[in-house]
Amino acid sequence: MSTDQFGVDGDVAIVTGASSGIGAAIAKGFADDGVDVVICSREQDNVDPVAEEIEESDRPGGALPVECDVTDREAVDALIEATVEEFGGLDVLVNNAGASFMANFDDISENGWKTIVDINVHGTYHCTQAAAEHLKDGGGIVINLASVAGQLGSPYMSHYGAAKAAVVNLTTTLSYEWAADGVRVNCIAPGFVATKGVENQMGISADEVDRTEVERRMGTVDEIADLAQFLASPASSYIVGETITAQGVPRVEESPEI
């Protein structure tokens, strides 16, 4: 069987929150396949090394690092403008930028709540709306990053779960509205992924995760990047408005023996 349908060679992609973790893995995976990637984060110094790694490697895709706070609409508009100026268009938008912290609901300040919602929800809104014209020019792809916390809820992360639930709903709604424009909108909801942040909180590093092991509840950034690659490729052409959960073995209650 041919595997050509899994490629996205020749496209141009923006990956937000790409200075490390899942975003950096997605950007590198796209570049491996010949995609020119624009990678952004709030600090130029954080995103430059990722772009340099891509540019100095033998990956066929190029990279453009851009400093961008996704909660700032003017900065987002400048990001889109820089992308089109550098690469001539935009085909894939990956809304990966996000933030979270753990706190009891009673202890979350109004500012803390607004900050998490602003980054996760408004950031996704800003980037997607700003990119609309270019994504609709020839048919584009939007891949949103949510979380299982946005599907099932998560103790001590009510603000984050609520924000990611909004991203899931936005995915479904926008996929319907933009389908006639030839744009596919889908979402990935990861469970625990072995990033530096998770390692600091849970003490589990990516080196300890075996991708061949089925019975686990910890994934790698590359596994999420593989899923993004699939959703950006023609192989997923009949998948529209879906949120794909990547969390390993699901949590289910054991049924008592009868």
Give catalytic residues, as residue numbers: 160
The answer for residues whose C-beta is within 8 angstroms of residue 200's C-beta and 6 or more apart is none
Tokens representing 95?
């809304």
Dihedral sign of CA atoms 190, 199, 27, 91 in order: positive
Torsion of CA 63, 69, 74, 78, to 10 degrees: -10
Q: How far is it, in rounded angstroms, from Cα 152 to Cα 149?
A: 5
Q: How far is it, in rounded angstroms, from Cα 173 to Cα 218?
A: 30
Q: How far is it, in rounded angstroms, from Cα 223 to Cα 237?
A: 20
For the chain, how long is the longest CA-to-CA vector? 67
Amino acid 163 reads: A
Helix, strand or coil, per DSSP, at residue 40: strand
Cβ density class 82-116: b for 16+ within 10 Å, e for less:
bbbeebeebbbbbbbbbbbeebeeeebeeeebebb
